[in-house]
Amino acid sequence: MGRGLDEIEGGRGLDALIDTGGVRTQGTSTINEIPLSQIEANPNQPRRDFDPESLQELANSISEIGIIQPITLRQVSDDRFQIIAGERRWRASQMAGLTAIPAYIRTIADENVMEMALVENIQREDLNAIEIALAYEHLLDADGMTQEKVSERVGKSRTAITNYLRLLRLPAQVQIALQKKEIDMGHARAILAIDSPSLQIKLFNEVLKNGYSVRKVEEMAQMLKNGEDVNSGSKKIVAKSKLPEEYNALRTHLSEFLQTKVQMTCSPKGKGKITIPFANEEELEHIMAVFDKMK
């Protein structure tokens, strides 16, 4: 019960954000007791998952002391209201057997609803990474905002927004795991370094199986990206080299010449890079000596 109450009391209300300039909208606001039967969820609400245990705790708290923080609604018809912020409290109120709930009623343009819900939840850190990414995508696609505009509205850097949007390029099962917090955003970003979806899934499965750190996943992803096979326990992830046969021959020749395992990547357009690793100072001195002789 305490956790649910703390979450209500500790969060900043949406109107507090509006008053302090967090979101600038035009419209009016009133507070009323609204029948639960007249309230509907916002289909574009960025938050998708509601933990049943936490929801029951909040319902118990509401049964005992009532609603602390009013939810925020917009009127969509004479007797229908849509939730801008507070769907969790609305759901818990139904579980608690309430028939009405205190709510701020705002007059606001449709295009601002998603923005306000997103800002509220980001400020409270209620959303998981995929929910945030989907919300950013909605603002960009449905509302026609630029990344600069989204950055300005939610108070996040363009780089942060780009990093979230990139998560939507991951295979579905990786996105689901991230949403369930089975992996964190650091793992997901490391997996994104690999272009091949099949290799992404293989690496992801090994992360789940072995509980690798973000640093370890970054190292494994880099090796796969460079065309190297990766050992994971008793299993090996085989990197599928995209190098044309003539490039493989050149890599082999260069490795023999320098007496070290040269790594090479190449795009379909022929653009790439050569990496020359060394294990210690002696190997580095040998490589430099070879280059000196070439002069």
Query: Which residues are annotated as catalytic?
Result: 87
> Each residue of 244-269: b (16+ CB within 10 Å) or e?
eeebeebbeeeeeebebebbbbbeee
User: What whole-number distance in Å separates Cα of residue 136 and Cα of residue 46?
Assistant: 9
- Given the structure tokens 């199986």, which residue do they identify? 209
Beta-carbon contacts of 248 under 8 Å, excluding residues fewer than 6 positions away, are 241
Distance CA 74, CA 77 (A): 9
Instruction: Fill in the amino acid letter for 33.
Output: E
β-pairing, 263-266 with 230-232? unpaired
Residue 123: name the closest of 153, 90, 87, 148 by CA.
153
